[in-house]
Amino acid sequence: MAGALKRGNTVIVTHGELGRPRPAVVVQADELGLDTTSVLVCPLTSVLSDKLPARPVIEPDEKTGLRARSQIMTDKLAAVPRHRIKEVIGSIDKRTAEQLDRALLIVLGLDR
């Protein structure tokens, strides 16, 4: 399943010790192709916080595949083994992708 992933896809992953399925956004560059055993993702949360400005908001709709308004947890960037990505449920729009890029620059300390 994880072979057709693109940056900006919203996906369902099983991550962590419990392996509970949860949504995430693929942030890994498409240029890496299928040559990696893991994929960089940012998990999503429907528990919104105003205290963390580096967490872009995604609205629920058919395109994103989400059922609830969510934030991209750029501060919890993770490398997930490809086999833990269960399905692509949608993708983010261009505006959200630009907000995500800016947020990742802040979280990674590259916004100098």
Of 14-18, 75-79, 82-86, 90-94, the least confident:
14-18
Measure the N-to-C terminal CA separation of the chain; round to a whole number of Å. 37
* Token reading at 14: 């099983």
Q: Is residue 21 part of a domain?
A: yes
Q: Please tell me the predicted confidence (pLDDT) of residue 2.
A: 53
Residue 60 class from Cβ within 10 Å (0-12 exposed, 13-18 middle, 19+ buried)? Answer: middle
Q: What is the mean predicted confidence (pLDDT) over 14-28? A: 86
Q: What is the pTM of this model?
A: 0.91
Residue 7 sits in a domain whose CATH number is 2.30.30.110
Q: Are 93 and 63 in contact (CB under 8 A)?
A: yes
Q: What is the mean predicted confidence (pLDDT) over 13-18? A: 76
Domains: count for the chain = 1
Tokens 């399943």 map to which residue?
1
pLDDT tops 80 at residue 111: no
What is the average pLDDT score of the chain?
A: 91
